[in-house]
Amino acid sequence: MLVRKAIEVSGIVQGVGFRPYIYRLANEQQLAGSVCNTAAGVSIEVQGPPASVDDFLARLPVGAPPLARITGITVREIACNGDRDFQIVTTHRGESVGTLISPDVAVCADCLREMFEPADRRCRYPFINCTNCGPRFTIVRNIPYDRPFTSMAAFRMCPACETEYDDPRNRRFHAQPNACWTCGPQVELWDLDGNRVETADPIAETVARLQGGEVIAIKGLGGFHLACDATNAAAVRMLRERKRRVEKPFAVMVPDVGVADGFCEVDAAERRLLLSPPRPIVLLRRRQDTEIAEDVAPFNRYLGVFLPYTPLHHLLFAAGGFTALVMTSANLSEEPICIANDEALHRLHKLADCFLVHNRDILLRCDDSVARVCRGRSRQLRRSRGFVPVPVFLREDVPSVLAVGGELKNTICLTQGRHAFLSQHIGDLENAESYGFFEEAIEHLQRILEITPVAIAYDLHPNYFSTRWALSQPRRPLIGVQHHHAHIGSCMAENNLEDRVIGIALDGTGYGTDGNIWGGEVLLADYDGFERAAHLAYVPLPGGEAAIREPWRMAVSYLTRHFGCDFVRGLPLVAAVPEKNLNVLFCMMEQGINSPLTSSCGRLFDAVAALAGIRRQVNYEAQAAIELEMAIDNSCDERAYSFDLIAEGEGWIIDTRKLFEGLLNDMACNVSIGDISRRFHNGLAEVLCEVARRIRNRWGLERVCLSGGTFQNEYLFERLCERLQKNGFQVFTHSEVPAGDGGLSLGQAVVAARRLNQSRVNR
Ligand SMILES: [Zn+2]
Ligand SMILES: [Zn+2]
Ligand SMILES: [Zn+2]
């Protein structure tokens, strides 16, 4: 007796070697039938003895190719026919119609083996790839994901490559970027004027120049990197000066995990993350006294480390010329990463000494992703190359919405069905080039994902460029979502939560519904809406943006509020500030001139950091807060500064007077900065936990969501999680989606989608 079953598989199942896998599996079980790509994924029919068909079904999800991500399998019985063998049916319209596109993937072990095999026809070929590895997202011009619609269209496959491409048993069957020395892209070394440097081996020449201390722009997968020897202090300093990046840490690429382990502590989870196919930059705790130049990551206990992910990277390291390369996005500070050869010549002229380029176009910029392991889980700090465009899977179907994110670390999000597609890292929109990239990403993603949004979600801040862009769009409903509500919505969506939660949202800046700048918020929230249950007490932000760049102003603001102007005048904190300027500052705060009120947690960190003597001015976002965390002493001082909770309406204001009293007292007693920092972090965790307990007593909520950029502070995050769990709360946090503003657009999208659904119900 025979049975025949029709199987539909959804998820990331196209362009990842899924059909050849099914073909092999069916042949092993001696089943007849067929497999083809469909709009929803992959459609399979198998026919054979019931036991063999059952075996096939059981094995199907288990042995799927490494890049496949199955999100659903449905099976139904259909009538048998006269099929005798199993076939791969190629769809007429091409390969992937409206399905998920794979992200870019690090070169696989099989390809690497071939690349270093002298007899292989692709020996040392820098663009070797197969269905299990290589570029995807960054070379897609349009859908379907088929060679003519990628930047590989310019290269016509040679007969040898063509044969592999057409053979279902070959691991390059329908590998769209398939190429070799004869038919594929090539590298060249260019001087500053774009002239080819005459050399038989551009990669060997690049290695020699890096060893000589040069800074070289190297074209990669999602854009150019600026590279130099990370152990050469002079080269690193020169790169910093040219890039005008004063102190923000650089990432380093090392040849393998063993070398990473020499520079940093690497545990099992971090090792897995380093080696995972997206090959993100992983923040690792650095060891003392290594040969990495101090300027790579000044004042930081962590080092961003990643492993080679393109064949070209492996070739650079294979010569053994260096143990670590600084590999930083090729741009001036805060501009988007550079992708085209001409663009590189023009924009990187003063940054690089020469250019290692190739002729495969990058169609969409995509920076390296940054992640860390915290409480045993990997957590995204910047979700970009290797992860995008894998969607976040939602708990139910939602209308198609475009959410345009915030201002800094911008990403956008598009929803369709149960998928929320977060874009790659776009950057800070106040920068004109980044704004161009923002518009480009919106257009490109809508096209390749085939999504036509029915509404646009945006942040309430009237001056954000993303908000202004949204408000200038014609026709569609425009839905404003409060910043911290979006943060909590993002955390809820990632964790597939539905009911109301206690949302603790801590960050630097988010526009509040009262027109003030929020940032130390405890909300009662679900997708429908939120109430503000508690927040840090308001203080003036003297000078607006200037107060963000100069943390000492925040210390003055807090101390003036609690102890008055005369007290502040006598402090060493302001000794260097001319009397006249100080008086102007007092006057501005007093009269509310250019001094918006803020409950920002980031600014509270700034005030404490400045007062404790860590930093008066910052060179990059959140620098003072990061250095305050780095200062924490690892002794076991369990003391904590106290905060008062003052009743306001149904909720509370978190008052900071006692915190500053304790802090000033400790300073007078010469308590170390390490202890002061620790007591501050402990105190903040304590008071937030106390707020959660009071909310539970009053409203009966037990689930807590933590979101916002401040939770990139590992100590505060761990401490608060621990406290909350000890007190019986269920704690939900971010892992796949950044806690900071890079995750904001997801929250905007899900909140807006809910509002759309409701307005339909109400109509
Ligand atoms: Zn491969
Ligand atoms: Zn070829
Ligand atoms: Zn935020």
Average pLDDT rounded to a whole number, residues 717-733: 98
* Predicted local confidence at residue 100, as pLDDT: 77
* Predicted local confidence at residue 757, as pLDDT: 87
Average pLDDT rounded to a whole number, residues 496-501: 97
Closest listed ligand to the CA of 184: 2
Q: pLDDT at residue 142 above 80?
A: yes
Question: How far is Cα 669 from Cα 637, in angstroms, rounded to an integer?
Answer: 16
Average pLDDT rounded to a whole number, residues 351-374: 96
**Cα(188) to centroid of ligand 2, in Å?**
19
**Cα(19) to centroid of ligand 3, in Å?**
42
Q: Which of 87-91, 328-332, 653-657 has the lowest mean pLDDT?
A: 87-91
Q: pLDDT at residue 98 above 80?
A: no
Average pLDDT rounded to a whole number, residues 14-27: 89
* Predicted local confidence at residue 721, as pLDDT: 98
Q: How confident is the model at residue 637 (pLDDT cuts 50, 70, 90)?
A: confident
How many other CB atoms are there within 10 angstroms of residue 422's CB atom?
Answer: 31
- Strand bridging mode 517-525 / 455-459: unpaired
Task: Give the tens place of pLDDT for each residue, 197-242.
Answer: 999 999 999 999 999 999 999 999 999 999 999 999 999 999 999 9
Q: pLDDT at residue 94 above 70?
A: no
**Cα(465) to centroid of ligand 3, in Å?**
15
**Cα(694) to centroid of ligand 3, in Å?**
25
**Cα(200) to centroid of ligand 2, in Å?**
21
Read off the amino acid at residue 352: A
Sign of CA dihedral 82, 87, 93, 96: positive
* Predicted local confidence at residue 261, as pLDDT: 97
Question: How far is Cα 520 from Cα 740, in angstroms, rounded to an integer?
Answer: 14
**Cα(667) to centroid of ligand 1, in Å?**
58
Mean pLDDT across the chain, nearest whole number?
A: 94
For the chain, what's the residue count?
763
Q: Which of 371-375, 437-441, 630-634 has the lowest mean pLDDT?
A: 630-634
**Cα(94) to centroid of ligand 2, in Å?**
21
**Cα(679) to centroid of ligand 3, in Å?**
25
Read off the amino acid at residue 145: Y
Q: pLDDT at residue 522 above 90?
A: yes
Q: Which of 2-11, 269-278, 332-341, 580-589 has the lowest mean pLDDT?
A: 332-341
Mark 178-207 as b/e (b = at least 16 C-beta within 10 Å). Answer: bbbeeebbebbbbeeeeeeeeeeebbebbb
**Cα(283) to centroid of ligand 1, in Å?**
27
Closest listed ligand to the CA of 161: 2
Q: pLDDT at residue 96 above 50?
A: no
Whether 57 and 5 have beta carbons less than 8 Å apart is answered as: yes
Question: Where are any strands of DSSP class E within 290-384?
Answer: 302-306, 325-329, 354-358, 370-374, 377-382
Q: pLDDT at residue 509 above 80?
A: yes
Task: Give the tens place of pLDDT for each residue, 666-688.
Answer: 999 999 999 999 999 999 999 99
Q: pLDDT at residue 92 above 70?
A: no
Closest listed ligand to the CA of 160: 2
* Predicted local confidence at residue 763, as pLDDT: 52
**Cα(147) to centroid of ligand 1, in Å?**
17
List residues, by chain if needed, whose CB lies under 5 Å from ion ligand 1.
108, 111, 130, 132-133
Q: pLDDT at residue 68 above 50?
A: yes
* Predicted local confidence at residue 591, as pLDDT: 95
pTM value is 0.93
**Cα(250) to centroid of ligand 2, in Å?**
37
**Cα(23) to centroid of ligand 1, in Å?**
19
Whether 410 and 434 have beta carbons less than 8 Å apart is answered as: yes
Question: How far is Cα 586 from Cα 540, in angstroms, rounded to an integer?
Answer: 10
**Cα(264) to centroid of ligand 2, in Å?**
41
* Predicted local confidence at residue 38, as pLDDT: 81
* Predicted local confidence at residue 383, as pLDDT: 97
Closest listed ligand to the CA of 164: 2
Mark 32-69 as b/e (b = at least 16 C-beta within 10 Å). Answer: bbbbebbebbbbbbbbbeeebbebbbeebeeebbebbb
Whether 286 and 301 have beta carbons less than 8 Å apart is answered as: yes
**Cα(167) to centroid of ligand 2, in Å?**
15
Percent of the chain predicted with pLDDT > 70: 98
Read off the amino acid at residue 69: R
